Amino acid sequence: MSRWLGLLLLLLGACAPTEEPLAEPDPGLAELAIVEVAPTTLLPASRLVIRGRSLPGPSDGSIRLWLMGTSKLPGTVPRNLDVRLRAEYVSSEEAYVLVDTEVLQLLGGNSVEFEGHAQVVIDSVIDRREHVTEPLQVKLKLVPSLSPRLDLLELAGPQRTTGKVHPNDWLIVRGDGFLFGGGEGETVALLSGCFLPEGTAEPCSLNGRSVREVEIPVAPLSRFDRAGAILPYAPTIHGVLPGKFVGTIRLRNQPPGTTARTVSGTRTVAVEQVRPELTGISPSAASLGQYVEMQGAGFIGGQAGQATLVRLQGQFSLQGSPVMIPVDTEIVVKWLPRYPSGPVGRYVLDETDALGQALESRGGLREAAGVFVGNGTTTLRFGRESVSSKPTPLRIALLRPKQVVVVRFLSSYKDSLRLFGLRAVDNAVRARVLEVARRDYAGINIEFREGGEDMPWPQDFAYYAQVDIGGPDPNGLGYLGYDNTPGRDMQNRRLYDRIGGVNAVTQSDGSPGYGGVFAEQLLGFSSHPGSVSPIKSAPGEAELFDQIFDPLRPDTGGTPATLREATLLPALSSGSLCPASKDDRSHQVACAIFVLGSLIGTTMTHELGHSLGLANPDSPNGSYHNNGNLRGRIMNPGSLRSFSERAELSSSGAAIFCDSDFAYLRRILPGSQLPPSVMRPPCLDTPTM
């Protein structure tokens, strides 16, 4: 009987569905950690911010904040608390929990004190596992409302002991109970008193200007500081003219959706407002599309009726020429708040503004490289009021245009790396992509910068190009890359092309709308590309691709690269060792990094070339690719760009810009350094007649 029972159990086990084996641990979470939970005092509708590392985006997993400890209502005994709160992704280093009605109920109400530890819990969609960080000790306090307290008002920076302020100088407010904006509401300062303009006789009550309950929003000194705030001494208080103000200040908290407002006590304030100052200009050398900052104090703007202008008077000397061009022009600068040093006036070097027009006869800001030497004078305009600084000596060099290119690596690119078994070595692949780009454009005035979906945009240039590195081709056409900018930019007039996203202008003529570089489509070079469209290639090319990537591809039984391998591997400078032997794991991973980085990099430099006006730059009606059948040219059509050439495994080496293409790039973006000594082949099969 037992023998038949055993056989029955064996048969049942054989027929039972087997669970799909779990994937390897998600390498994107290898450095997962929680760093901070703030602020510690919370209101209904506050954001409880989680700062950490390696937080996944929505497509990679969900984020929860796990609080475990004790919570206590006033006058009650502490009780155990064990809750997991859903968090919203902001970036790989930040998420937040909105303190809504549901969260308040889970925490025990809006007057609770919590003490215990916090952890981040990730439910990964990649490996279908739960990942939990090490605990972080925290104390949180929930309150139904906050009342502001005003202890002290003081000047910031050099004016701290003088009692003198410029328009928009910072004042520091000390106290407690300040709101952070958003769902919490805001804290505003209320100023009342009397302003007596310079040169006007007392009493202020007869000859001055009355100030009554002027509202100025305050902002926290630091992100989670409820005890310190900054207050701009704004023109809306009494204007921009020099003079003395004596009065009072108090604070008011204004929660949204209610008329219930709480007010602090009152403090006296007495300051002398002085004229604006212009002390210098930064940087001392700049090019078209770059930000230039006027340094000093007293800059205004950002609201209707306010403007800051700088008058430039002097001489502009053309580079390599004895010609001196007289300059007398006025430029508008943008008020830019900055703490603690104080606001600055920011200006973009632009062809259409006063300075660009002043140099138009000499080629404008694209051609008129040289140096301006003279004086600058700041003028503030507020309604009908106007006040100017003393003239200040200024010197700035105007450089030939520089093309800044932000290479954005998207989350879809990171997802596609998993198909190659290279997700854990993402940073090494990126480094190779950028290395290829900088090498291909060496000698051209181009700067490549790494970017991402949660990384800040350039702060020093207003005009910059963007290239998105994504995963699959969203056009569904199997492209490796596509320049979706609106037509070739002959002479690179735009400087701000975006190769990525969707371009409605491009779509309007029937062309594919989505652009960028599509890393996942590179699997098409394989003999088993999976769901990716196969790419026709020469005999042996698909086998070479598979020799490189099969040892790492999870769909072929390979073992994906690990984070530890990424830290131990030598970065290859050439593909001479590739493909690696079967028993050489370290070089297998290194070769895969080198090859994929080269494939993405050479595709990107090709698409960027289109954006800059290539190929056939001297022919406005010319094709987008080099004519003829000569290989080894970056701007060749895809049919002439084999896998081994793109991957830089060919004995002939990497493709380069051919002679007339490179000469064009040097002409529109002349680099300050001599180009590398490279023999550049002709772009055409036969010389032009």
Which pLDDT score, from 0 to 100, does residue 23 have? 54
The pLDDT tens digits for 519-567 are 999 999 999 999 999 999 999 999 999 999 999 999 999 999 987 887 7
> Which run of H or of E encompasses 14?
helix 2-15
Assigned domain for 9 exists: no
Pairing of strands 446-452, 392-399: unpaired
Q: Is residue 684 part of a domain?
A: no
Within this chain, do residues 105 and 177 fall inside the same structural domain, yes or no?
Answer: no
Residue type, 324: M
Q: At 608, which amino acid appears?
A: L
The answer to whether residues 286 and 260 belong to one domain is no
Q: Tell me, what's the pLDDT at 359?
A: 81
For the stretch 348-378, pLDDT in tens is 998 887 787 888 877 778 888 899 999 999 9
Q: Which among 348, 354, 351, 371 has a CA at the least distance from the CA of 284?
A: 371
- Domains held by the chain: number: 4
- Residue 245: strand pairing partners: 195, 271
What lies within 8 Å, CB to CB, of 185 at 6+ separation is 179, 253, 254, 255, 256
Instruction: List the alpha helices (DSSP H) in 258-376.
Output: 354-358, 364-367
Span 197-202, average pLDDT: 95
Give a yes or no: residue 3 inside a domain.
Answer: no
Instruction: Tell me what pLDDT residue 689 has.
Output: 42
Residue length of the chain:
689
Encode pLDDT of 422-450 as tens digits: 998 999 999 999 999 999 999 999 999 99
φ, ψ dihedrals at 175, nearest 5°: 170, -130
Contact call for residues 533 and 524 (beta carbons, < 8 A): yes
How confident is the model at residue 490, as a pLDDT? 78
222-244: average pLDDT = 96
**Residue 674 maps to a domain:** no
Q: What is the pLDDT of residues 97-154, one digit of tens each?
A: 999 999 999 999 889 999 999 999 999 988 889 999 999 999 999 999 999 999 999 9
Same-domain status, 96 and 153: no
Looking at the structure, tell me whether residues 431 and 559 fall in a common domain: yes
Residue 38 burial (10 A CB sphere; 0-12, 13-18, 19+): middle
Cβ neighbours of residue 656 under 8 Å, at least 6 residues apart?
Answer: 440, 632, 633, 634, 662, 678, 680, 681
Q: What is the pLDDT of residue 484?
A: 83
Percent of the chain beyond pLDDT 90? 70
Question: What pLDDT sits at residue 439?
Answer: 95
| Domain end (from 273, 308, 326) | 273
Average of pLDDT values for 372-396? 97
For residues 394 and 408, membership in a common domain is answered with no
Tell me what pLDDT residue 24 has.
Answer: 67
Closest C-alpha to 636, from 684, 588, 573: 684
Name residue, tokens 């003490």.
Answer: 115
Q: What is the average pLDDT across 469-488?
A: 86
393 and 408 housed in the same domain: no
Do 461 and 502 fall into the same domain?
yes
* The pLDDT value given to residue 14: 42
Residue-wise pLDDT tens digits, 635-659: 999 889 999 999 999 888 899 999 9
| 188 and 325, same domain (yes or no) | no
CA distance 487 to 503: 11
Between 93-107, 582-596, 622-636, the lowest mean confidence (pLDDT) is in 622-636
In a domain, 677, yes or no: no
**DSSP letter for each residue of 422-442:** -GGGHHHHHHHHHHHHHHHTT
pLDDT confidence band for 20 (50 / 70 / 90): very low
The last residue of one of the domains, among 273, 294, 315, is 273
User: What was the pLDDT predicted at 621?
Assistant: 61
CA distance 537 to 587: 25
Does 688 or 258 have the greater pLDDT score?
258
Residue 355 maps to a domain: yes
The answer to whether the beta carbons of residues 656 and 439 sit under 8 Å apart is: no
Q: What's the confidence (pLDDT) of residue 507?
A: 55
What is the longest distance spanned by two Cα atoms in the chain?
117
- Structure confidence at residue 140 (pLDDT): 97
User: Are 612 and 628 part of one and the same domain?
Assistant: yes
Query: What residue type is 376 in one-letter code?
Result: G
| Distance in angstroms (rounded) separating the CA atoms of residues 238 and 195 | 7
What is the span of the domain harbouring residue 260?
149-273
Residue with tokens 């094709």: 623
Q: What's the pLDDT at 159? A: 66
pLDDT average, residue stretch 266-286: 96
Residues 6+ apart with CB under 8 A from 567: none
The four Cα atoms 615, 620, 622, 625 give a dihedral, to 10 degrees, of 20
Residue 11 is predicted with a pLDDT of 38
Q: Which of 9-13, 25-29, 103-107, 667-671 has the highest mean pLDDT?
A: 103-107
Residue among 244, 248, 256 nearest 187 (CA): 256
Residue 160 covered by a domain: yes
| Same domain, residue pair 376 and 434 | no
- Judged on CB neighbours under 10 Å (0-12, 13-18, 19+), 589 is buried
Tell me what the mean pLDDT of segment 397-412 comes to.
95
Nearest-5° Cα angle at 186, 183 to 191: 170
Asked if 43 and 187 touch (Cβ cutoff 8 Å), the reply is no
Contact (CB, 8 A) for 453 and 411: yes
Averaged pLDDT, 303-324: 92
Between CA 420 and CA 597 the distance in angstroms is: 12
CATH number at residue 163: 2.60.40
pLDDT the model gives residue 260: 80
Q: What is the DSSP letter of 583?
A: T
pLDDT for 13: 42
Taking residue 490's Cβ as centre, other Cβ atoms within 10 Å add up to 15
Instruction: Identify the bridge partners of residue 347 per DSSP, sorted by sequence position.
Output: 292
- Chain centre to alpha carbon of residue 188: 30
Pair 534, 510 in one domain: yes
- At residue 452, φ and ψ (nearest 5 deg) are -160, 175
pLDDT at 508: 54
Render 335-346 in DSSP notation, one character per residue: EE--TTT--EEE
d(CA 604, CA 94): 30
Q: Are 48 and 183 contacting, i.e. CB atoms less than 8 angstroms apart?
A: no
For position 306, what pLDDT does the model report? 95
Confidence of residue 19 (pLDDT cuts 50, 70, 90): very low
The confidence score (pLDDT) of residue 487 equals 72
- Name the band, by pLDDT with cuts 50, 70 and 90, for residue 3: very low
* The predicted structure's pLDDT at residue 7: 39
Mean pLDDT of the chain: 89
In contact, 95 and 51? CB cutoff 8 Å: no
Asked which of 142, 168, 192 is the last residue of a domain, the reply is 142
Residue 678 in any domain: the answer is: no
Whole-prediction pTM: 0.87
Judge whether 234 and 168 are in contact, CB under 8 Å.
Answer: yes
The residue among 506 and 662 whose pLDDT is bigger is 662
Give per-residue pLDDT as tens, 457-467.
Answer: 999 999 999 99
Measured CA angle at 520 (ends 516, 524), to 5 deg:
115
**211/324 same-domain check:** no
The predicted pLDDT at position 510 comes to 58
How does DSSP assign 459-475, residue by residue? SSBS--EEEEEESS-TT
Q: Which residues contact 638 (CB under 8 A, 6 or more apart)?
A: 480
Tens of pLDDT, residue by residue over 488-523, are: 777 888 889 999 887 645 555 556 668 899 999 999
Closest CA to 345 of 388, 292, 381: 292
